[in-house]
Amino acid sequence: MEYLIHLAILISIYAMLGISLNLVVGYTGLLSITQAAFYGIGAYTTAILLTRYDINFFVSIVLGVLITAVVSLLIGYVLSKFKGDYYALGSFGFNVIVYSIFLNYQDLTRGPLGIPGIDRPNLFGFSFSDNLPFLVLVAIFATLIFFISKFIADSSFGRVLKAIREDEQAIQIFGYKTHQYKLAIFVIGAMIASIAGAFFASYITFIDPSTFTLNESIFVLSIIILGGLANLRGSVLGALFLILLPEILRFVGFPSDIAAQMRVLVYGALLVILMLYRPQGLLGEYKL
């Protein structure tokens, strides 16, 4: 049972990450490869505030979101000047910079040693130290984020984002300042990723820079491409699929001496086959 709860917590966290990136990539058409950076900022903010200053977890989420909003506003302003491949390369560079800060700013982040002893949430004397209450909490946040994001996607703001994705120059003719819309959704996506990072840090109770590399951003991008771009339910489904598939492959009877390699091989082959026959993802409404 604890194993299933553990998987459900990870699925909830990665569903939030998938939703945050889908708003940027799926709905707006901006190929961002930087979500792990904002994920890390939220995680490190919570870790530092809880371990050094004994600040309440929920307060740390708010402060992490504010810090992430400021950082993403600055980065997003720069990235909004670029289009297409240049946007992707710019976001790639930012992820590398943030990872380097996590790794080398040892006075703040403890570098490769990481930050241990991160407390679980506590609200009005009730501790979420057990995994089941923690799952309920993270699932509530994930559900709220899903419906808030759905409201954004279905609103007039969301319709402008889709118009930018389809033909940015055409929507500019009608007087829309598209760079402001791109900047706004970039910041919103970063703030959601920060919340996911806070929950990850508190759940694992230890973080180090290796979690927030470029590979993590690519993994989140894989979640939304697999689940379906411009479909929030697809973000949840993609997280469910990519978290559970490696675990299911553990129970396949591969020879013990090559089991790990075979699991990776089958995992990769299944993803390639799916992309060949369903390039828009399982529930996708848009293809890159």
How do residues 116-151 score in pLDDT, each as one tens digit? 999 999 988 888 999 999 999 999 999 999 999 999
Q: Which residue type occupies 63?
A: L
**Helix, coil or strand: residue 122:** strand
**Token code pair at residue 70:** 């400021």
Place of tokens 């049972």: 1
Which has the higher per-residue pLDDT, 168 or 9?
9
Ordered structural domains, the chain, with CATH:
2-277 (1.10.3470)
Which of 47-56, 66-75, 161-170, 181-190 has the lowest average pLDDT? 161-170
Which of 6-10, 98-102, 119-123, 284-288 has the lowest average pLDDT? 284-288
Q: What is the pLDDT of residue 253?
A: 67
Using CA atoms, how far apart are residues 145 and 20, in angstroms rounded to an integer? 9
Query: Looking at residues 196-225, what average pLDDT do you find?
Result: 93
Per-residue pLDDT tens digits for 253-267: 666 676 667 767 777
Query: Looking at residues 45-59, what average pLDDT do you find?
Result: 95
Residue 3, Ramachandran bin (φ over 0: left; ψ between -120 and 50: alpha; else beta): alpha
Instruction: Name 206's bridge partners.
Output: 116
Spatial contact of 264 and 258, defined as CB atoms under 8 Å apart: no
Query: Looking at residues 61-89, what average pLDDT do you find?
Result: 91
